[in-house]
Amino acid sequence: MKGALWKRLPLLAAAVLGAWLWHGGLGLLPSKHRLIWQLAGEVASVREVEVQVWNGDTLLSRESWVFEHGLDRELAEELSLRAGDYTARAFVRREGSAQPWSGAQPLHVGDADEVVTRF
């Protein structure tokens, strides 16, 4: 009985390590998160949106959307990030406006699969 347990121990250890790595290694390794961007104001007037994710001075992601008739779907992207704090920047161009509105929000990534940021 004791010998059989020792034979299975490496397999059990490999399974535990694999599960740990699969779930991001306690935030030490990047894991996939769904980032959802919510905009304030009239969504029918939105024509173009660009969202950037920054880690200090390093641009990690840039996503843009163009809408002919206003925002018609959820703004979301999937991104592999480590647990920690980032900065999200948004640029929103609305109908009738020559210059886009821009804003920045802190983005905290933890254990949750979905992270919602409101601009």
Model confidence over 33-87: pLDDT tens digits? 999 999 998 999 999 999 999 999 999 999 999 999 999 889 999 999 999 999 9
Residue 8 within any structural domain of the chain: no
Residue 60 within any structural domain of the chain: yes
Residue 28's nearest CA partner among 17, 44, 38 is 17
Domain that holds residue 55: 28-118
pTM score of the predicted model: 0.74
Residue 22 within any structural domain of the chain: no
Residue 9 within any structural domain of the chain: no
Residue 49 within any structural domain of the chain: yes
Coil, strand or helix at 3: helix
Residue 21 within any structural domain of the chain: no
pLDDT tens for 75-84 read 999 999 999 9
Q: How many CA atoms lie within 13 A of 64 on its CB side?
A: 7
Query: At 72, which CATH number?
Result: 2.60.40
With beta carbons less than 8 A apart as the criterion, state whether 62 and 52 touch: yes
Residue 37 CB burial class (10 angstroms; 0-12, 13-18, ≥19): buried
The total domain count for the chain is 1
